[in-house]
Chain A
């Protein structure tokens, strides 16, 4: 069975600064990896996914993530955040079923 750990529950960041959200997983088999974003009072939407191929994955709204198999990590980054990036971010991992991390709340301040 896999598990997903998001290492930071809250990340405050100033506008135009970079942000990194950390995600580690454990699984005994190959996995698919995802980041979802949840804006206030909305459902989740897919930011990006890694299924195979290049380990650097680009998603919507300027986000990217890098799959590191040896470290079993899939960290999410954005070089310059905007106020509108304030949201909760979920890492998710799938081998035969999908499991979500506990979430990281990003608060962007002017």
Chain B
């Protein structure tokens, strides 16, 4: 089954404790992206990757890091989480042209709470 898998789905952590949210897709997509969803703000892009070893900042990259060492994986790293990073996070992927034509496939989301 074609899917984007995120882990963990739910996480409660404390300020400053490094964490990683993993994302894996099995559709051989070049393009992958991370979004955060906050009430009243919709989805905002954090980082995206057009291919292996190619990443770029989205609209709200502060406090986040990413890496793309393999085509299928695109982990999101919070080096020193803060309470304003409490949010619902989505990973998404698409085929080469999908990056700006919107045909994105989303994971089920990771709800992060930073105390």
Contacts and interface: CB of A to CB of B under 8 A. Distances in A.
A32 B101 contact: yes
Nearest to B9: A41
A67 interface: no
Nearest to A101: B42
Nearest to A98: B102
Contacts of A45: 106
B90 interface: yes
Interface string B89-113: 0101000000111111011110000
Nearest to A43: B106
Interface of A: 4, 6, 9, 32, 34, 41-46, 49, 51, 90, 92, 94-98, 100-103
Interface of B: 4, 35, 40-45, 90, 92, 99-104, 106-109
Given A41-B109, A43-B90, 8 more contacts: A6-B42, A42-B108, A42-B109, A43-B92, A90-B43, A97-B45, A98-B102, A100-B42
